[in-house]
Amino acid sequence: MTNNRLIERLPKAELHMHLEGSLEPELMFELARRNNVSIPFESVDEVRAAYEFSNLQEFLDIYYQGMAVLQRPADFEDLTLAYCRRAHADRVRHVEVFFDPQGHTKRGVSMDTVVQGITGGLERAREELGLSSQLILCFLRHLDEADAFETLREAEPYLEHIAGVGLDSSEVGHPPSKFARLFAECGKHGLRRVAHAGEEGPPEYVWQALDELEVERIDHGNRALEDSALVDRLVDSAMPLTVCPLSNLKLCVVDDMQAHPLRTMLDRGLNASVNSDDPAYFGGYMNANFAAVAQSLALEPSHLGELAANSFRSSWLSDAQKQPFLDEIDLIVTEFTAV
Ligand code: ADE
Ligand code: ZN
């Protein structure tokens, strides 16, 4: 069996995926037609050709533009279900997905439309695929604190559908501390907390996410490796890092995949998992991300099993829900290494 066969067989949880980043060009065109929205591209190929980025901001500019085709609940439902089907085909068995409501409310699409559509898609995925899910509302960090508080207020009627909150968008210049009061308020609402940190931003932003936002996962965390005291803190607390290899390559966080820090993270005892971030923009879903690091970093079957196990351990499933997946992973890796 090749590593790719092992990757295909391992059950996985996806913990870092932006639903709007799963908008494939084909669906973008279909929704543009359906909603009579004009997009600045002539063809699917032209869209794909535009996906060359030299940093996070260049990607975000195109990502926010792409969202314009999402108008009605059915659009959000189709987007969500399409992602779930694609993830399920990669043996993803549980997802905790992000959405960016401010990217929609800013252009006149209501919170109700967005949440109704996404929860409809997740419900259909649960029925059709047996895929379990949780939903994470992300605040856009380039907008101000007042805008984020207003978004939290708009989300209040829907909190039964929202497990937690996150922090995304342009990192440098927008430190976690900007949202300390907001995250404290989210905590009072019983919302779980995660934040993007250390993707482009310095280790200091990871410290702030831990100490000032009290997050229970760090999304990305690559630059934490620059600070050994921070690495010790992350190792000692088994803090999950939701790492996104193809995203890091496409956004030039790493120069090439051989230079990706994932193997170093595992060797240092960090609790890292593999995720696809914005798969429609970065060239691959879960298994493509696994395959890229498996090959470029010469990962052993035990590493692949550890990454899959970390994804469930770091998820918000109960211990009783996690255990069958962890047992299955153990069995598959043992069988794989015995042949
Ligand atoms: N929004 C969508 N993808 C993102 C990423 N990789 N970093 C920050 N914000 C994002
Ligand atoms: Zn992300």
Question: Residues 303-336: pLDDT tens digits?
Answer: 999 999 999 999 999 999 999 999 999 999 999 9
Q: Please indicate, yes or no, whether residues 2 and 71 belong to a single structural domain of this protein.
A: no
Q: Please indicate, yes or no, whether residues 40 and 152 belong to a single structural domain of this protein.
A: yes
Is 120 a domain residue? yes
* Domains held by the chain: number: 2
Pocket flag, ligand 1, residue 169 (CB < 6 Å): yes
Q: Please indicate, yes or no, whether residues 39 and 143 belong to a single structural domain of this protein.
A: yes
- Say how far apart CA 313 and CA 322 lie, in whole Å: 7
Is 36 a domain residue? yes
Label residue 191 left, alpha or beta by phi (over 0 means left) and psi (-120 to 50 means alpha).
Answer: beta
| 1 pLDDT higher than 90 | no
Pocket flag, ligand 1, residue 277 (CB < 6 Å): yes
| Torsion sign across C-alpha atoms 286, 289, 292, 298 | negative
From 134, 162, 190, give the residue that closes a domain. 162
Q: Please indicate, yes or no, whether residues 28 and 101 belong to a single structural domain of this protein.
A: yes
Pocket flag, ligand 1, residue 199 (CB < 6 Å): yes
Ligand 1 atom 8, closest CA: 169
On whether the CB atoms of residues 101 and 155 are closer than 8 A, the answer is yes
Q: Please indicate, yes or no, whether residues 1 and 100 belong to a single structural domain of this protein.
A: no
- Say how far apart CA 159 and CA 333 lie, in whole Å: 39
From 162, 190, 223, give the residue that closes a domain. 162
Percent of the chain at pLDDT above 90? 99
| Domain boundaries, position 271 | 1-11+244-339
Active site amino acids: 199
Q: Please indicate, yes or no, whether residues 144 and 267 belong to a single structural domain of this protein.
A: no
Q: Please indicate, yes or no, whether residues 258 and 147 belong to a single structural domain of this protein.
A: no
Confidence of residue 52 (pLDDT cuts 50, 70, 90): very high
Give the domain CATH number at 116: 3.20.20.140
Q: Please indicate, yes or no, whether residues 138 and 252 belong to a single structural domain of this protein.
A: no
- Say how far apart CA 87 and CA 75 lie, in whole Å: 18
From 144, 162, 180, give the residue that closes a domain. 162
Is 84 a domain residue? yes
Question: Residues 183-192: pLDDT tens digits?
Answer: 999 999 999 9
